[in-house]
């Protein structure tokens, strides 16, 4: 079956329907090869095919790949950073610790992917220590890993950072992020 398929690919079709001389219907003229001439071996050899490709970059003992890119995990920030009054963040995503998933790994992975795409994302564990990082009942968010952008000097700047095209591409498309001033309680 493989030989038939190879014959069809190299000679046009399996039937011998020719019209004028060596012209096959629906194809261009092809040179005739006498049956006594051996066909060239089309299998890849060391001089062709995959043998001429460069091998993939390998890690060296210095922790860098041979292409010169660092192999280190991106810094996704402190687990519990200190915020000052007037510093705003945009919340990109959140993962509760009681949801049955590895919330810390998900949050840090998402922040790492965004950092790799050039977006200054970070991850933190909200355990009630931020009065301005609150739910709709104005209670501080607890037991939740948060992926955020910032801090920046205003809510508008945090929203602009969130809605930038670079952030949209890195995250996969969200229209707006809630903004918070973590150090200040808002009632």
Distance CA 1, CA 43 (A): 17
Q: Name the residue range of residue 137's domain.
A: 88-180
Q: Domain count of the chain?
A: 1
Beta strands at 88-96 and 121-126: parallel, antiparallel or unpaired: unpaired
Residues 84, 183: contact at Cβ < 8 Å?
A: yes
Examine residue 6 and state whether it is found in any structural domain, yes or no.
no
In this structure, the number of other CB atoms found within 10 A of the CB of residue 157 comes to 16
Examine residue 172 and state whether it is found in any structural domain, yes or no.
yes
Examine residue 112 and state whether it is found in any structural domain, yes or no.
yes
Examine residue 68 and state whether it is found in any structural domain, yes or no.
no
Distance CA 33, CA 28 (A): 15
Token pair of 45, please? Answer: 């050899």
pTM of the model: 0.61
Residues 168, 174: contact at Cβ < 8 Å?
A: yes
Distance CA 83, CA 126 (A): 12
Token pair of 179, please? Answer: 């903004």
Examine residue 47 and state whether it is found in any structural domain, yes or no.
no
Examine residue 32 and state whether it is found in any structural domain, yes or no.
no
Examine residue 19 and state whether it is found in any structural domain, yes or no.
no
Burial class from Cβ neighbours inside 10 Å (0-12, 13-18, 19+) for residue 160 reads middle
pLDDT in tens, the chain (187 residues): 555 555 555 555 444 444 444 444 444 444 444 454 545 555 544 544 444 455 555 444 444 444 445 446 788 889 999 999 999 999 999 999 998 789 999 999 999 999 999 999 999 999 999 999 999 999 999 999 999 999 999 999 999 999 999 999 998 876 679 999 999 987 6
**For the chain, the helix, strand and coil percentages under 3-state DSSP, each to the nearest 5:** 25, 20, 60
Examine residue 30 and state whether it is found in any structural domain, yes or no.
no
């Amino acid at each position: 079956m493989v030989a038939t398929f190879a014959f069809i690919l190299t000679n046009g079709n399996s039937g011998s329907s020719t019209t004028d001389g060596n012209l096959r219907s629906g194809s261009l003229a092809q040179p005739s090869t006498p049956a006594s001439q051996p066909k060239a071996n089309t299998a890849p050899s060391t001089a062709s095919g995959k043998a001429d490709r460069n091998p993939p970059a390998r890690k060296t003992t210095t922790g860098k790949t041979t292409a010169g890119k660092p192999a280190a995990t991106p810094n996704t920030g402190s687990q519990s950073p200190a915020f000052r009054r007037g510093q705003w963040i945009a919340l990109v995503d959140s993962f509760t610790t009681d949801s049955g998933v590895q919330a810390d790994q998900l949050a840090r992975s998402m922040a790492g992917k965004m950092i790799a795409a050039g977006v200054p994302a970070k991850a933190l564990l909200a355990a009630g220590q931020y009065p301005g990082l609150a739910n709709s009942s104005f209670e501080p968010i607890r037991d939740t890993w948060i992926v955020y952008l910032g801090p920046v000097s205003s809510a508008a700047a945090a929203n602009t950072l969130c809605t930038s095209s670079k952030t949209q591409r890195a995250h996969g498309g969200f229209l707006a992020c809630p903004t918070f001033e973590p150090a200040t309680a808002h009632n």
